[in-house]
Chains A and B, each alone.
Chain A
């Protein structure tokens, strides 16, 4: 039952794989707990998992953690949806019409390599320290990446499909909607899932900027008072949200694209 796990490129049943995943996580946490309890590392550097869990509980019950989570989630999703709604049509236009591609591609490629943190001062000058700045920074981190991914996907639509559609009488708009978009569906959803992940990584940067809410703010405040368990609890929460969202989007992918 477990022997195929040790075969190069072998296959294992989902149950066995799940068991291995859980066991590995348990071992890592157990080692961490042992290391912390043995006092090998000072607790303000590495608190034990049990203390992180206790911190998490206090944050949930006494410090409105769920509200902060909700605020952060809302920021991420607003910025992400904004980026997606803009990036999908622009990306498609970029690879479908040379004039759009030639005009935008070099610019977007340049902006994409600008580090988001470096743009924090600029965005404060532009938008102040309110919600706009945070949304802008998150959007910045995702939009330019996504545009190029979408443009790439669009370019990869097999010419054969486009030509079959044209020979049965589809016009450009119909080719776009009935063939190109349908073909892109699976990769598009994958790319959205991946860029959503990036959006969460920019959250901390965005919420360090004079925020008074959100997980980033919680983590940053805890850091100031060297409350390491709370810092870790905050990080764990982001990790959990990431994990759950990712799995949900994968599930959606399987549901939507059963033909794969």
Chain B
């Protein structure tokens, strides 16, 4: 098994509760992988282990062949809530990603901040505090911060879960474009099948707790790398979406 991110016989229990069954899985570099599965099945736990925030009970996780032992800035987290620091402006929130980097001088940091402010359309809000901007903007800030930190793996746990449909759609398109342009590896957790199919190169479908892989769907082979909004109206998209929905009903016996 190969991959940039590798689960090697990874299993996790919290005390007597088995949350992730022994799992082996390799994820390609610069791909966007969606973890899909019933509520409480262990998706967040899987992701936290990649982040180095939780330790596998057995087995290990490798990043570029190297064992993950603790969090570091190569893997950035984006959460659904509490994603940006309320006491920092948009600009300072992005700068926070580089706060502990000694390899960049002030000018380089300023340049990177400028780059990500532009990339996410945040330049006009640089001096605003998070509670003065929309939820979508706050999630953009969080993504920009992890990119500024220099993460090349983004761990996103239902990052768009609290957004309205339109904002959500726009952020999905942006995320996909930026993931390709900035060459990032993304693990994305969601409950939303449409979102999963629209974003993913690959969908890993998990069973109910304890999580184990029940399906591995190669979306990129069907839809290709580019995902304009219109792709949602194509026959292929519908078929894929229905296929995933069927798999969920039949394989996990649950509604996501």
Contacts and interface: CB of A to CB of B under 8 A. Distances in A.
Contacts of A169: 72-73, 99-101, 149
B82 A168 contact: no
B87 A161 contact: no
B87 A168 contact: no
A46 B131 CA distance: 51
B75 interface: yes
A174 B146 CA distance: 18
Contact of A160 (B81, B129, B151): B81
B81 to A, nearest CB: 7
A8 interface: no
Interface stretch (A86-94, A176-184, A208-216, A235-243): A176-184
A116 to B, nearest CB: 36
A130 interface: no
Contacts of B77: 160, 163-164, 167
A28 interface: no
B85 A182 contact: yes
Nearest to A160: B82
Contact of B85 (A161, A163, A167, A260): A161
A259 B85 CA distance: 10
Nearest to B96: A168
Given A160-B82, A182-B85, A259-B87, A167 B131 contact: no
Interface string A155-189: 00010110111111110001000110011010000
Interface in A212-248: none
Contacts of A260: 86, 131
A163 B71 contact: yes
Interface in B59-110: 71-73, 75-77, 79, 81-83, 85-88, 96-101
Contacts of B149: 167-169
Interface residues of A, number: 21
Interface in A61-103: none
Nearest to A183: B87
A168 B99 contact: yes
B72 A167 contact: yes
Contacts of A170: 99-100
Contacts, number: 73
A158 B82 contact: yes
A257 interface: yes
Interface string B105-137: 000000000000000000000000111000000
A106 B238 CA distance: 60
B53 interface: yes
Interface string A244-260: 00000000000001111
B145 interface: yes
Contact of B83 (A160, A165, A259): A160
Interface in A134-149: none
Nearest to B85: A161
A174 B75 contact: no
Nearest to B83: A160
Contacts of B146: 167-168
Contacts of A167: 51-53, 71-73, 75-77, 146, 149, 151
Contacts of A165: 96
Interface string B130-161: 11000000000010011001010000000000
A161 B73 CA distance: 14
A168 B97 contact: yes
Most chain A CB neighbours (cut-off 10 Å) among B85, B130, B151: B85
A161 B98 CA distance: 15
10 contacts: A164-B83, A165-B96, A166-B71, A167-B52, A167-B73, A168-B96, A168-B100, A168-B145, A179-B85, A182-B87
Interface of A: 158, 160-161, 163-170, 174, 178-179, 182-183, 185, 257-260
Given A164-B77, A259-B131, 11 more contacts: A160-B83, A167-B52, A167-B146, A167-B149, A168-B76, A168-B96, A169-B101, A183-B85, A183-B86, A259-B86, A259-B88
Interface of B: 51-53, 71-73, 75-77, 79, 81-83, 85-88, 96-101, 129-131, 142, 145-146, 149, 151
